[in-house]
């Protein structure tokens, strides 16, 4: 399989007061198209920082980040935003839905930023919510949905622009075990049936083991599974 994401000798350094803190220390990491990988590590290992870089939410201090063989390490924010909108879908632990909007409206937001017409937005949002089992709940607001239902809306929203990569940050972190299994099955189906590339950050070993490949970080470095 061809590479879709590659980090080469990537460092990420933050300045805390006058002290440099190295969140990532020259990591090398490859994800191929159609893979389902999990990123694990203790608190402070750099796993969330790595996800921010892969998701074009941040830039490395040193090194190079490639997405579809394009070096995105030095792009400005407007270019990064365009890449995020077209190529990457995000699923967050806290769902990040807008409580004033219905499920349908939340799913349409990424398409609005890409200039998709209203008719097409509505049809695709309805189709995606039906796919995740929420067709009959599409006009409900997040406050009227369970945690599992909110995460399903978030997954539908992540698929809105038909991205090549789905980044899931602790997707079961706010869910009970039964609901977490249902959400994971949905991600597994997206991977197996639609050949989506999925990168998941999690501290839950049972969840991580559902991925094809496990990547382990410690002290800002890849200690296992980076290639």
Give per-residue pLDDT as tens, 192-212: 988 999 999 998 888 999 999
Please report the pLDDT score of residue 57 as a whole number. Answer: 85
Report all structural domains of the chain as residue ranges with CATH numbers, in order of start: 3-224 (3.40.50.300)
Is the confidence at residue 4, as pLDDT, over 80?
yes
Other C-beta atoms closer than 10 Å to the C-beta of 112 total 13
Check if the beta carbon of residue 142 is closer than 8 Å to that of residue 164. no
Please report the pLDDT score of residue 77 as a whole number. Answer: 84
pTM reported for the whole predicted model: 0.90
Please report the pLDDT score of residue 83 as a whole number. Answer: 85
- Residue for token pair 């399903």: 152
User: For residue 107, what pLDDT band results from cuts at 50, 70 and 90?
Assistant: very high
Check if the beta carbon of residue 191 is closer than 8 Å to that of residue 184. no
Is the confidence at residue 225, as pLDDT, over 80?
no
Check if the beta carbon of residue 207 is closer than 8 Å to that of residue 184. yes
């Amino acid at each position: 399989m061809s590479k879709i994401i590659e980090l080469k000798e990537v460092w990420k350094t933050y300045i805390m007061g006058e002290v440099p803190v190295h969140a990532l220390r020259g990591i090398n990491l490859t994800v191929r198209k159609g893979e389902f990988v999990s990123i694990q590590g203790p608190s402070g290992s750099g796993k969330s920082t790595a996800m921010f870089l892969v998701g074009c939410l941040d830039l490395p201090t040193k090194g190079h980040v490639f997405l579809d063989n394009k070096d995105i390490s030095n792009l400005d924010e407007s270019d990064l935003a365009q890449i995020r909108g077209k190529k990457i879908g995000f699923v967050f632990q806290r769902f990040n839905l807008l409580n004033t909007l219905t499920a349908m409206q939340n799913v349409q937001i990424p398409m609005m930023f890409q200039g998709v017409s209203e008719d097409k937005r509505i049809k695709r949002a309805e189709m995606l919510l039906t796919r995740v089992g929420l067709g009959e709940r599409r006009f409900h607001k997040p406050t009227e949905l369970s945690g599992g239902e909110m995460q399903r809306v978030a997954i539908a929203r992540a698929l809105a622009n038909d991205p090549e990569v789905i980044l899931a940050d602790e997707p079961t972190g706010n869910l009970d075990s039964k609901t977490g299994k249902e959400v994971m099955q949905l991600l597994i189906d997206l991977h197996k049936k639609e050949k989506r590339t999925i990168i998941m950050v999690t501290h839950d070993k049972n969840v991580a083991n559902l991925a094809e490949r496990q990547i382990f970080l410690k002290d800002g470095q890849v200690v296992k599974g980076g290639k």
